[in-house]
Copies of this chain bind each other. A is one copy, B any other.
């Protein structure tokens, strides 16, 4: 369909963290498969386990966790096992990257980072809107809990030279620019903590998703090309979603195949070029209204059309004799 590479997910059959760590030849096998398909790989993603690290665990988490991490479902136990699994993911990522070093040697360098993308969960998401009246002390406890649980994880990432890219997203400790800045502050500006930039979670909220790039130029570790539309529907459901399912025609916003939504990717690419982002543009395709194959192909074409190399020559000096 035109893709050059893939981001391996730690669910489904893409990439199994424990097999990677414990099974001989597993990571090499992954690279063989990539090589057969002439694909590169710059990132591993483990959103589902990450979600459980800080969350107030409820019955819904069972469906996204392996039986081992879920265990008896006791919330604190789940959270601690999830934290350990994230550390294991970093180690598996390092092992995988090292195994592919020779294959990747003549491929585009990307940002030079080994990145695990994922979620963090949050102990305070349930309190959004802030009623009963919610004080900054209450919120801060959530950020402190995040720091207490994730700093040790990030230190282990550092030990194996891997970066963590949080996908800023509702239900996570960071879901807009302000909370992203507060999360950075909570972990003391840890150098391994950055972002898997994904505009589709920001635009419909009214967050300036281009400003996100300009505010965190050093921490854009990975980029998801995913689209959403907003300002749609029949006016009966707003940004909070009305307890409806995705693709419900009443919804104010929904995910769309890249290029069919309201995200201004032109501005995003310009900003990514301005900050000299050199990593991949990774299409995350989720559009409940479109055939998956059709969508993946058109998304790839759309992204290629956008991803021009920035110029080294500034306009006006073109008129200058010195440059002729």
Contact = CB atoms under 8 A, between A and B. Distances in A.
B63 A316 contact: no
Interface stretch (A20-28, A34-42, A130-138): A130-138
Contacts of A291: 308-311
Contact of A60 (B132, B288, B322): B132
Overall SS of chain A's interface: loop
Nearest to A318: B286
A33 interface: no
B242 A176 contact: yes
Contact of A170 (B64, B177, B240): B240
Contact of A129 (B178, B241, B288): B241
12 contacts: A11-B321, A60-B133, A60-B134, A125-B129, A130-B246, A170-B240, A177-B242, A181-B236, A206-B238, A206-B253, A211-B236, A291-B308
A265 to B, nearest CB: 11
Interface in A268-324: 270-271, 273-274, 286-292, 294-295, 298, 308-311, 313-322, 324
A290 B306 CA distance: 10
A178 B230 contact: no
Contact of A288 (B178, B240, B311): B311
Interface of A: 11-13, 47-48, 51, 56, 59-61, 63-64, 124-134, 136, 138-139, 142, 169-171, 175-179, 181-182, 202, 205-208, 211, 214-215, 230-232, 234-247, 249-250, 252-253, 255, 260, 266-267, 270-271, 273-274, 286-292, 294-295, 298, 308-311, 313-322, 324
B12 A241 contact: no
Contacts of A273: 289
